[in-house]
Amino acid sequence: MPMSPDLRETSHRRLNPLRGDWVVVSPHRTQRPWQGRREAVATDAQPRHDPGCYLCAGNLRANGARNPDYRSTFAFDNDFAALKSDAGDARFEDGLMVAEAESGVCRVICFSPRHDLTLARMGPAGIVPVVEAFVAQARELGARADVRSVQAFENRGEIMGCSNPHPHGQVWASRHEPNELVAETASQAAHFARHGRPMLADYLARELALGERIVFENECFACLVPFWATWPFETMLLPKRPLGALDDLDAGDVAALAAALSELTIRYDNLFETSFPYSMGFHQRPADGAPHPEWTLHAHFYPPLLRSASVKKFMVGFEMLGSPQRDITPEAAAGRLRALPATHYLDRAAPAP
């Protein structure tokens, strides 16, 4: 059943069934004038190799280790790892104050030796080794007895606090499931117990039938703006066949996922004709050896930009203290992303003079 026209024009709230919470949607509010903060837009052209970059091939890192002369991707243990594997088993409990040791492994993955590239500029074939590196890391770390959950992610752009423009991502493997994963495991398990089917497979089937929040699809993956999206141009990548973890991808899935990552990041760059910032990451089943048929591998993209390269969305006030809120509807955001060209704006032929 299509959504009632009333909800398209008036304030309402939408359930996020993955997290089990709500987002407030205010479609009537998009005309609000903006006199607030504009972000500086980083437009510096980057060199192919930066002698001062700690991620470029052959360079020294901050702790004195030297990167090899790598030609494709390169993974290393984070020199300032947030989680250490030798954290021990200590536990403290005093009423409401509870603490316990948390252990893990943090790695950095350079996507390319080229300092000046981003996923949006690497092309599908160039992204295949990046997906393969995420898969290899997730497989290796997920097989460890002291790891229960593996997060593979990319934090892109100065506005997101990314420390270096060199294309890179991270993998954090931890003894405990992090908060977001605990919530997603619980909601997917509850759906599976009730319906006998994975929640996100049911969700994608419905979205493909409706079409209005689909941005694009290829043979193995679909990209959509979730019905419950919080960030203005938030998207998810979902597999069309049952996949529970990066470990389950075959060669065809890897190629299709690389193509989807390429197309999405190009569309994002085209949205405001800027190198588009975001935090993205893959969510996958717990690495506890159980089959977890309830789980569907997926990627979330959380971009901060709202209406231009220089105006970002702030999650403050009611959103920090109450619930997140959005103005542009998920349907309108999907429509805008869908209408954009799939060719990068920097590759489009300049108009004849």
Query: Interface with ligand H2U by CB under 6 A: which residues?
Result: 54, 61-62, 78-80, 108, 155, 162-164, 170
Sheet (strand 12-16) strand order: 12-16, 21-25, 325-326
- The reply on whether position 53 binds Zn ion by CB under 5 A is yes
Q: Please say which residue, 14 or 156, places its beta carbon nearer to ligand H2U.
A: 156
CA proximity to 199, closest of 6, 14, 30, 20: 20
Per the DSSP assignment, residues forming a β-bridge with 172 are 106, 151
Among Zn ion, ligand H2U, none, the one that 218 touches (CB under a kind-dependent 5 to 8 A) is none
User: What is the nearest approach in angstroms of Zn ion to the Cβ of residue 69?
Assistant: 13
Tell me the closest approach of the beta carbon of residue 57 to Zn ion, in angstroms. Answer: 8
Q: Check residue 114 for interaction with Zn ion (CB under 5 A).
A: no
Catalytic residue from among 168, 283, 298, 300: 168
Q: How far is CA 211 from CA 164, 204, 219, 222, 261, in A?
A: 37, 10, 16, 11, 20
Nearer to Zn ion, 47 or 322 (CB): 47
From the list Zn ion, ligand H2U, none, which binds 53 (C-beta under 5 to 8 Å, kind-based)?
A: Zn ion
Least CB distance to ligand H2U at residue 337 (A): 24
Phi, psi for 7 (deg, rounded to 5): -70, -20
> Judged by CB, which is closer to Zn ion: 108, or 257?
108
Decide: is 117 part of the binding site for Zn ion (CB under 5 A): no
Amino acid at 84: K
- Please identify, among the stretches 22-30, 113-121, 169-177, 200-208, the one whose residues bind Zn ion according to the rule CB under 5 A: 113-121
Q: Which of ligand H2U, Zn ion, none lies near 162, with the C-beta cut-off 5 to 8 A by kind?
A: ligand H2U
168 given a catalytic annotation: yes
Of 210, 205, 206, 282, give the one whose Cα is nearest residue 240: 205
Out of 23, 25, 55, 259, point to the residue binding Zn ion (CB under 5 A).
Answer: 55
- The tokens for 315 are 């999650």
Among 14, 115, 267, 285, binds Zn ion (CB under 5 A): 115
Contact status, residue 123 vs residue 262, Cβ threshold 8 Å = yes
166 binds, among Zn ion, ligand H2U, none (CB under 5 to 8 A by kind): Zn ion
- Report if residue 292 touches Zn ion, rule: CB under 5 A: no
With contact defined as beta carbons under 8 Å apart, do 232 and 301 qualify? no
Which of residues 81 and 332 has its CB atom nearest to ligand H2U in the complex? 81
DSSP H helices, the chain, are 5-9, 123-142, 179-195, 199-210, 251-272, 318-321, 330-339
Other beta carbons less than 10 A from residue 61's beta carbon: 14
Q: Identify residue 244 by its one-letter amino acid code.
A: G
Tell me if 166 contacts Zn ion by CB under 5 A.
yes
* Residues of the shown chain interacting with Zn ion in the complex, contacts defined by CB under 5 A: 50, 53, 55-56, 115, 166
Just list the catalytic residues.
168
